[in-house]
């Protein structure tokens, strides 16, 4: 009877892959979030704000948000930015991916991730170099370094003792966490990214240094583990105005099994896009997690928008109303 709702909450929050690192459904449109080598793929300042609510309807369900910016280091003068929002009279095509030349890029990101009684805040800066392999292909290497803060929010945890104090239950696990609430770790990540206008293949790793550099009084739950990620996709023309891109995101975190996201994205005039994804749970194909529907468009030359909805097909479906993710982008100097 010493087991508590707090322990159950720990198991729930750790069930899905990526609770150490937030998972996002719109990875195809935000490659920088899964591979630092993708920073500076476009020759302008790319600023993106995203937010995700997972398992909507559950109390203290995981919620994540991020803000990132990346840009090439160019000597060319940039166009002056006019902050006025002007929508287009017609389709605004995606910005061109330029290859065949050497590029240097810088990026930075801020991430906030809260799940159950735990919260992670991360900030990182990125450098990437893009090397021309051929006229139509580049190979980039990116590395980021940052700091993560892991916090236990004792007011969000419930134990049997809190629910029924007259019964005299004790919870040593909760007491241990409540006394050791904060840990800061240095995060180092790296990635290789091979790309063209139609193709991308990337491999990356995050939390390479784990807790080698850390300070604070955190507990065993804040034990950073290296995450490996592989992405690939190819865009096929299927008509004058339509393209179809199948893509995959493979994630691995020892000792969990390999996790898989498979996606299909349909794009109209490089302007309006629709997508479907399947996310496999950490138990393999016998443990499906969610189907995801998404859509987005370029609102204007400078603004872009994306939305996705996760429909859970796991046992959480009877408790959750799905998940929502919103992404807003600003393209400066196109």
Mean pLDDT of 72-84: 61
Q: What is the pLDDT of residue 199?
A: 97
Largest pairwise CA distance in the chain: 74
Q: What is the pLDDT of residue 123?
A: 96
Give yes or no for a contact between 22 and 109, defined as CB atoms under 8 angstroms apart.
Answer: no
Mean pLDDT of 7-35: 68
In the structure encoding, which two tokens stand for residue 183, read together? 């840990």
Give yes or no for a contact between 63 and 54, defined as CB atoms under 8 angstroms apart.
Answer: yes
| 303 has a pLDDT exceeding 60 | yes
pTM of this prediction exceeds 0.85: no
Mean pLDDT of 278-298: 76
Q: What is the pLDDT of residue 180?
A: 58
Q: What's the rounded Cα separation, in Å, for the pair 320 and 19?
A: 17
| 161 has a pLDDT exceeding 70 | no
Domain tally, the chain? 1
Q: What is the pLDDT of residue 12?
A: 41
> Which residues contact residue 8 at a Cβ distance below 8 angstroms, ignoring those fewer than 6 apart?
none
Q: What's the rounded Cα separation, in Å, for the pair 125 and 138?
A: 22
Q: Shortest CA distance to 142 belongs to which of 197, 48, 70?
A: 70
Mean pLDDT of 286-293: 75
Q: What is the pLDDT of residue 79?
A: 54
Alpha carbon 38 to its chain centroid, in Å, reads 13
| 263 has a pLDDT exceeding 90 | yes
Q: What is the pLDDT of residue 265?
A: 97
H or E segment at 8?
A: helix 5-13
In the structure encoding, which two tokens stand for residue 64, read together? 């994540």
The per-residue pLDDT of the chain, averaged, comes to 82
Mean pLDDT of 239-246: 94
Mean pLDDT of 170-197: 79
Mean pLDDT of 135-158: 87
Neighbours of 179 (CB within 10 A): 11
Alpha carbon 248 to its chain centroid, in Å, reads 14
Q: Shortest CA distance to 288 belongs to which of 278, 296, 275?
A: 278
Q: Shortest CA distance to 119 belongs to which of 68, 54, 63?
A: 63
| 285 has a pLDDT exceeding 50 | no
Q: What is the pLDDT of residue 242?
A: 96
Q: What's the rounded Cα separation, in Å, for the pair 11 and 330?
A: 38
> Which residues contact residue 166 at a Cβ distance below 8 angstroms, ignoring those fewer than 6 apart?
none
Q: What's the rounded Cα separation, in Å, for the pair 247 and 233?
A: 4
Q: Using one digit for the tens of pLDDT, what is the confidence trace for 87-144? A: 556 789 999 898 999 999 999 999 999 877 788 899 999 999 999 998 899 999 999 9
Range name among 106-110, 146-150, 156-160 with the lowest pLDDT average: 156-160
Range of the domain at 290: 5-332
H or E segment at 175?
A: helix 172-179
Query: What is the Cβ-side half-sphere exposure of residue 45, based on CA atoms within 13 angstroms?
Result: 12
What CATH number is given to the structural domain containing 244?
2.40.160.40
Q: Shortest CA distance to 34 belongs to which of 234, 197, 251?
A: 251
Range name among 27-31, 148-152, 156-160 with the lowest pLDDT average: 156-160
Give yes or no for a contact between 244 and 238, defined as CB atoms under 8 angstroms apart.
Answer: yes
Q: What is the pLDDT of residue 218?
A: 62
Q: Using one digit for the tens of pLDDT, what is the confidence trace for 36-72? A: 999 999 989 999 999 998 776 666 677 899 999 999 9
H or E segment at 177?
A: helix 172-179
SS3 176: helix
Q: What is the pLDDT of residue 291?
A: 92
Alpha carbon 249 to its chain centroid, in Å, reads 11
Q: What is the pLDDT of residue 259?
A: 87
Give yes or no for a contact between 186 and 144, defined as CB atoms under 8 angstroms apart.
Answer: no
Q: Give the model's confidence band at 160: pLDDT under 50 very low, under 70 low, under 90 confident, else very high.
A: low
């Amino acid at each position: 009877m010493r087991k508590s709702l707090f322990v159950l909450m720990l198991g729930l929050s750790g069930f899905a892959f990526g609770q150490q690192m937030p998972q996002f459904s719109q990875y195809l449109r935000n490659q920088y979030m899964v591979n630092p080598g993708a920073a500076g793929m476009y020759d302008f300042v790319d600023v993106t704000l995203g937010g995700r609510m997972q398992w909507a309807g559950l109390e203290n369900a995981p919620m994540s948000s991020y803000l990132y910016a990346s840009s090439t280091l160019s000597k060319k003068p940039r166009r002056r930015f006019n902050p006025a929002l002007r929508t287009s009279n017609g389709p605004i095509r995606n910005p061109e991916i330029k290859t065949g030349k050497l590029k240097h890029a810088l990026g930075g990101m801020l991430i906030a991730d809260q799940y159950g009684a735990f919260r992670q805040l991360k900030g990182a800066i990125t450098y990437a170099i893009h090397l021309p392999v051929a006229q139509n292909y580049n190979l980039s290497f990116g590395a980021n370094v940052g700091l993560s803060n892991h916090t236990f929010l004792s007011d969000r945890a419930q134990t049997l003792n809190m629910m029924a104090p007259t019964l005299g239950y004790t919870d040593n696990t909760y007491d241990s966490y409540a006394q050791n609430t904060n840990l800061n770790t240095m995060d180092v990540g790296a990635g290789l990214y091979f790309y063209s206008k139609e193709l991308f293949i990337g491999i990356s790793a995050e939390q390479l240094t784990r807790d080698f550099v850390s300070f604070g009084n955190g507990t065993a739950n804040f034990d950073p583990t290296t995450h490996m990620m592989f992405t690939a996709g190819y865009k096929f023309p299927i008509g004058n105005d339509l393209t179809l891109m199948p893509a995959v995101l493979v994630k691995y975190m020892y000792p969990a099994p390999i996790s898989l996201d498979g996606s299909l994205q349909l794009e109209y005039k490089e302007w309006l896009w629709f997508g479907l994804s399947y996310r496999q749970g950490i138990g393999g194909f016998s443990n499906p997690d969610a189907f995801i529907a998404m859509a987005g468009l370029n609102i204007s030359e400078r603004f872009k928008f994306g939305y996705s909805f996760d429909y859970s097909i796991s046992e959480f479906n009877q408790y959750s109303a799905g998940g929502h993710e919103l992404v807003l982008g600003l393209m400066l100097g196109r």
